[in-house]
A and B are shown apart, each in its own frame.
Chain A
Amino acid sequence: MSQTLTTKQTAIGGRTFDSDKLLAVVCLIVPLIGLFLFFLYPMVIVFLRSITVEGGGYGLANYQEILASKGFWRATQHSLLMGGATTVVSVVLGYIIAHGLHRCVFPGKNLIRVAIVLPMLAPSLVQALGLIFIFGRNGLINRFFGLELEIYGFWGLLISNTLYALPQVVMIIGAALVLLDARIFEAAEVMGAKPSRQFRDLTLPGVIYAILSAAFVVFIITITDFGNAAVIGGDYSVLATEIYSQVIGQRNFNMGAVVGIMLLLPTVVSYYIERQAMKRQQNQKATNIQPYVPRFYGKRDVPMAMANYVIAAMIVLVIGVVVYASFVKLWPYNYSLTTKHYFITLAGGYSSLWVTIWISICAATLGTLAVFVLGVGLRRASAVLTQPIQVLASMPAAVPGMVLGLAYILTFNSTSTPLYLLYGSAALIAAVNFYHYHTQAFMTIMTGFRQFPSELEEAGESLGAGLGRISFNIIAPFVTPMLISIFFFLFMRSMVTLSAVVFLTTPKLSVAAVTIMRLDDAGLTSQAAAFSTAVMVVVGLALLGMKGILVLVQTHKARVKGA
């Protein structure tokens, strides 16, 4: 056949130029340029600004000033205390739910699963908003009982942070519980171990590193979260709000940078511990797991069911009250229903919602493409390169959104480089959203790539396929479920994230989460609730869309696999 002949001829002609190598290099370089420009470089700038002293030059004067200020120490103390308390409470509650879902028997598990997802559909400040509707000065409780309960401050923040963190805990611990092999429990059963004994000796040790990992994840998201603290923190200042007040309140960017760096320290340490714990948890993973199917055991399942219902009800209540309040004429005086709060009176109206959707689609599309291309490039890169690139790609998760946002404003609002052109553009907000969540997206794609058998790639190569063709025809179909998950993950996070974008919005360009915060600041709480509801609807639809598409992909795969 003539085609083969030409192949043979070019082959034997000893063509040394290999277009594949070029493509592999491009696959590596382009995402790396992105990481350098939109992550590493801004982080260097924020560090340099933190050591830039008044009147120019570098020094530690800013740090001395901050360390000498009472406000900073109070905020640090509050952040650590809040982080610790939230961690303890949400790990305990999250474990109860994860254990209930995976290892107990009671009805209504699907409803609990839905309830646990709710906090992820909205910007973090929605929990705070819900609590204010219930416990605030004009909340249900105080009005009804004529009390003077104060929800602003430690307790309000603790509850809203806990609700915000719960889904993460349930997911991390649940994923570990699922991987416990049923056979070890059957063996213990046969040896005469009671359920309590099995729990102590097998279940808990089996997921201990997942619990540790979940704890540090909660700690990180709590000390870096801005939305809840801004809305319900009141006088209880934390580091995240401290950065905000330095930058926005006092226009003191260098001081903001110092506080940012100080916030970065515990986050990086926690992130490192979390990664180590996660690695150990994953090392325990056995192959060919026999899934555990719990049988009804009253002494365990009745109390567990109660606890699960109560926790789920709390979440539904706090989120649900926001939706309800958005339709109520005048909370808490007149409960007749209306849609008037959906006519946003703040300048811009819903434009920020549409902009956010657009930004989220861009961040999700380009982000998914970028991590896929990086994954392809890494397959062909030498081992010397892959290690440092993987480390770099995993770093953004350790950086709080506030710090990244601040780094962006310091980098892109400076007229000294052409990067200034991006300032105030939707593209920049899309970039901060993607790079803020770069690590999670990258790790998901790497999981997919690790499962991809290299023989498929080699078979394609031997048939004459170049890297581009292999990536499109063979690798991409294989990792499709991961690509879908990454796309929707980036979309949903971009829709709701507040901390990273709060510094990047301008009077002309705002995003949904910031608009909600502005509405709440302006005392238009019901409109804030209405806007939140609109965001939750969009993100909820996206989530449903993702589930639907994944089911389609799975059924196609199952069909392809035969009965």
Chain B
Amino acid sequence: MYLTVSNATKHYGQFTALDDVSISIEQGEFVCLLGPSGCGKTTLLRTIAGLTEIDSGEVSLQGKPLTKVPARQRGFGIVFQSYSLFPNMTVAENIGYGLTIRKTPQAQIDERVEELLETISLPQVGGKYPGQLSGGQQQRVAIARAIAVDPSVLLLDEPLSALDAKVRASLRIEIRHLQKKLGIPTLMVTHDQEEALELADKIICMNHGVVVQAGTPKELYQNPKTRFVADFMGTSNLIPTARIRDEMPVLLTARPDGPDDAYIASIRPEQIAISAREDGTSTVLSTGFLGNLNRIEVDSPLGEILVETHGPCDLRQGQRVSLEILAEACHWVANDEDGVNP
């Protein structure tokens, strides 16, 4: 394990930002900290950066404790949501700042800055000031500044959140390529599950200051352990045990033992097959056309169910339909009563 945080706890007065949190990052891994605002993900990132002190617990790099090492001696790179370029320095001075501090000869700094400007595909902007660049350009410069010193860990605090949709999508891909190329272990904080799914080797899903589930994007999406994860990672139809028992008992086979409200069924909308049938037990409530997919709300014996289909769809409101759900599509998740849409 390259970087580990063990049993980190942090209180702000009455509020618990981190509650006995332990995570780890492997060499070269891209890890996303995912969770709603206030879940403690930024506190955890700042703890790793050395910008926030924890009440108890330990941060260590390659087995050596970091807790007492101030931020400026950790040799990490950090990128903030607000770009945070030094407004009084040129782009080149910003990128070279870390090297200047490390007393690198100027010629070497110039060379490195040049190279990084190429890497972020902004070779012409070295002499400009941050204020003269667009948001996306500024954020690329901020990334270049962070990696200029060959950081042992790269920390990204919602780096894409302030950008508009198109720029966000393209910069997301760039970050992914850059990280793979350089192999810097990277921790990114985000509240955008799509971003996490696309970028991460591993997602750590947090809520209320605790790690709810950690795993590959696939594991988290296909095998959520709790209602919170099922709901936060994409959309899920969450159906109480009693309803399943009454209407589709076949789905009960995979259910762990436990009282009715301990587990809840989670079924992804795209895993449900829908077909128009005069004798169907369900009715279409509404249909939404989203371009590449259709979102259909159905009133069924299981309750109101959301179904997503690809390709052409000629279902109309009020039409009788039947739904088909395979046993594999139904995941039983711990009912942590903390879903976004209870």
Contact = CB atoms under 8 A, between A and B. Distances in A.
A466 B103 CA distance: 13
A187 interface: no
Most buried by A among B73, B74, B101, B142: B73
B73 A465 contact: no
Interface in B67-85: 68-78, 80, 82, 84-85
Contacts of A249: none
> Helix, strand, loop or mixed for chain A's interface?
helix
Interface residues of A, number: 35
Interface size bracket, B side: 35 or more
Interface stretch (B143-151, B242-250, B308-316, B327-335): B143-151
A480 B89 CA distance: 14
Interface of A: 1, 3-4, 7-8, 10-12, 14-16, 18, 20, 453, 455-456, 458-466, 469, 473-474, 477-478, 557, 559-562
Given A3-B103, A14-B64, A560-B88, A462 B69 contact: no
Interface in B233-263: none
Contacts of A562: 129, 131-133
Contact of A4 (B70, B72, B132, B152): B152
A469 B101 contact: yes
A18 B50 CA distance: 13
Contact of A560 (B61, B77, B78, B87): B87
A92 B72 CA distance: 55
B86 interface: yes
B269 to A, nearest CB: 39
9 contacts: A7-B73, A7-B74, A8-B152, A11-B75, A453-B82, A458-B51, A458-B78, A473-B97, A560-B130
> Helix, strand, loop or mixed for chain B's interface?
loop
Contacts of A460: 72, 86, 97
A373 to B, nearest CB: 20
Given A15-B69, A18-B70, A4 B84 contact: no
Contacts of A466: 72
Contacts of A10: 73
Contacts of B97: 460, 463, 465, 473
B278 to A, nearest CB: 58
A3 B88 contact: no
Contacts of B78: 458-459, 462
Contact of A15 (B73, B82, B89): B73
B62 A12 contact: yes
Nearest to B99: A3
Contact of B80 (A8, A458, A465, A557): A458
Contacts of A1: 104, 149-150
Contacts of B76: 462
Contacts of A557: 87
B87 A478 contact: yes
A474 B103 CA distance: 18
A4 B84 CA distance: 22
Given A469-B101, A562-B131, 18 more contacts: A3-B103, A10-B73, A11-B61, A12-B69, A14-B64, A14-B68, A15-B68, A458-B84, A459-B85, A460-B72, A461-B51, A461-B72, A463-B77, A464-B75, A464-B149, A477-B86, A478-B88, A560-B131
Contacts of A7: 73-75, 102, 149
Given A11-B69, A469-B101, A3 B149 contact: yes
Contacts of A465: 72, 97, 101
A128 B1 CA distance: 80
Contact of A462 (B68, B72, B129): B72
Given A3-B103, A11-B73, A11-B74, A463 B84 contact: no
B229 interface: no
User: Which 4 pairs across A and B sit closest by C-beta, in order of nearness?
Assistant: A3-B102, A562-B132, A561-B131, A477-B88
Contacts of B50: 461-462
A11 to B, nearest CB: 5
A214 B86 CA distance: 37
Contacts of A458: 49, 51, 71, 78, 80, 84
B14 to A, nearest CB: 16
Contact of B72 (A455, A464, A473): A464
A383 to B, nearest CB: 11
A43 to B, nearest CB: 36
Contacts of B68: 14-16
Contacts of B89: 473
A462 B74 contact: yes
A172 B119 CA distance: 52
A463 B144 CA distance: 12
Contacts of B80: 455, 458-459
Nearest to B78: A462
B98 interface: yes
A559 B145 CA distance: 22
Nearest to B108: A1
A448 to B, nearest CB: 14
A294 to B, nearest CB: 32
Most buried by B among A14, A463, A465: A463
Nearest to B86: A474
A1 B151 CA distance: 10
A463 B97 CA distance: 7
A471 to B, nearest CB: 13
Contact of A464 (B65, B102, B130, B133): B102
Contacts of A12: 61-62, 64, 66, 69
A183 B73 CA distance: 50
Contacts of B102: 3-4, 7, 464
Contacts of B66: 11-12
B274 to A, nearest CB: 48
Contacts of A462: 49-51, 71-72, 74, 76-78, 146, 155
A463 B78 CA distance: 8
A216 B68 CA distance: 50
A468 B202 CA distance: 38
Contacts of A18: 70
A543 B154 CA distance: 48
Contacts of B152: 4, 8
A296 B74 CA distance: 62
A11 B71 CA distance: 9
A3 B86 contact: no
Interface in B112-157: 129-133, 142, 145-146, 149-152, 155
Contacts of A11: 61, 66, 69, 73-75
Nearest to B77: A462
Contacts of A473: 86, 89, 97
Contacts of B131: 560-562
A456 B86 contact: yes
A326 B86 CA distance: 52
Contacts of B61: 11-12
Contacts of B104: 1, 3
Contacts of A469: 101
Contacts of A474: 86, 88
A11 B87 CA distance: 29
A10 B51 CA distance: 18
A445 to B, nearest CB: 17
A461 B84 CA distance: 12
